[in-house]
Chain A
């Protein structure tokens, strides 16, 4: 074989290898109790079409579901109901949970935002971490993303409506001040339960393409990836940003990976942020599988017509014989 043929053959093998990786299913684990909106969240993030039953809960055993994203790429979904809902189910299926969580490319742990109790979820996390070795704990904690679902339900608690900022065709949902503060407090509350006790197990990584000259023993740079060992707190992040302003986005991204992420699939709120964190936390060897799910445009847009239908109150004024709702005025 001459020199050119040999190079061509190597390039062909590289192309074949990469193409095989892109055709593999992306493996996603979604953990959380019944009714937290696991399927809806996966649909919103990965363009899948999982059936959502508003009445009947799913089963208590882990389920494997094969679905396709919008682009036709395959997803192998491990749908993991909350541990703690049934002791019998926990004992029976816990071995499978561990295997599935460790095998996954993306692990999302979903908790309902409108709850104050994290006992079930915290017990489940303890159980998961206590039955694996130290290296597996680091792997699991580096993959898992804690998400607070259905934050659209928090407006009543904050006595603060949502903003829908739109033109004729589409718009975005945004928060007012009291609601934003409540969401932040929720995030901090759950952060104390799910992240802080496991700081020593945390590793984060993000990209940077140029020279990266930061002197910090926790940071290791191997172009184009910046690795960080441990948890980068808000205070530490701000210190690093002041000292190395050029890399402020890098420090933000490292910190963001270990935030509990509040979001709403219904209002498409914070999905852009969540997807950014998912992409940043992805291990390099999963890049091919993930390629079909990279969303290039903003994910926060909601058609104005749909948003109007989400206003679920009709004001009835019998004296004037009128009823009002989000679509405008309707004479009775």
Chain B
């Protein structure tokens, strides 16, 4: 296909590749952002349930509970 006159193909391709790089970064960032919120929310739930069961929250109990939960929740 003939080039559209007046446009530099390399320059246009470079702009598009820069856009792709940014979109890739945004995709990674939103995954990380979601995972951080999921970890935090699960920590909040663990704290609430442990408090109800034991009347106190200790690091040791929390770690024991975490070991029994699906590992991917803490990725």
Task: Give chain A's interface residues, CB within 8 Å of chain B.
Answer: 6-11, 13-15, 17-18, 21, 163, 165, 171-172, 174-176, 206-207, 209, 224-225, 249, 253, 272-273, 275-276, 278-280, 282, 284-285, 287-288, 290-291, 294-300
Contacts and interface: CB of A to CB of B under 8 A. Distances in A.
Given A163-B12, A300-B20, A207 B53 contact: no
A13 B49 contact: yes
Chain A residues touching B, majority SS: helix
Contacts of A278: 30
Contact of A249 (B29, B48, B49, B70): B29
A285 B39 CA distance: 11
A276 B26 contact: yes
Contacts of B70: 15
Contact of B23 (A207, A291, A300): A300
B20 to A, nearest CB: 6
B30 A275 contact: yes
B15 A299 contact: no
Interface in B1-56: 12-13, 15-20, 22-24, 26-27, 29-34, 36-42, 44-46, 48-50, 53
19 contacts: A7-B68, A10-B46, A14-B65, A17-B45, A18-B45, A163-B16, A171-B16, A174-B19, A207-B36, A224-B36, A225-B36, A225-B37, A273-B22, A276-B29, A276-B33, A282-B37, A287-B34, A295-B30, A299-B27
Q: Which of A14, A225, A280, A297 has the most CB of B within 10 A?
A: A14
B15 to A, nearest CB: 5
B41 A174 contact: no
B39 A10 contact: no
Majority secondary structure, B binding face:
helix
Nearest to A278: B30
Contacts of A163: 12, 15-16
Interface of B: 12-13, 15-20, 22-24, 26-27, 29-34, 36-42, 44-46, 48-50, 53, 61, 64-65, 68-70, 73
A285 B64 contact: no
Contacts of A285: 41, 44
A10 B64 CA distance: 10
A272 to B, nearest CB: 4
A298 B15 CA distance: 17
B64 A7 contact: yes
Contacts of A174: 12, 15-16, 18-19
Contacts of B50: 10
A8 B44 CA distance: 18
B68 to A, nearest CB: 4
Nearest to B70: A15
Most buried by B among A10, A278, A282: A10
B36 A209 contact: yes
B68 A172 contact: no
A10 B68 CA distance: 10
A295 B33 contact: no
A215 to B, nearest CB: 23
A8 B27 CA distance: 36
Contacts of B17: 165
Given A10-B49, A21-B41, 20 more contacts: A13-B49, A14-B45, A14-B69, A15-B69, A15-B70, A17-B45, A165-B13, A165-B20, A172-B16, A174-B12, A174-B19, A176-B15, A209-B36, A225-B40, A280-B30, A284-B40, A284-B44, A285-B44, A291-B38, A298-B23
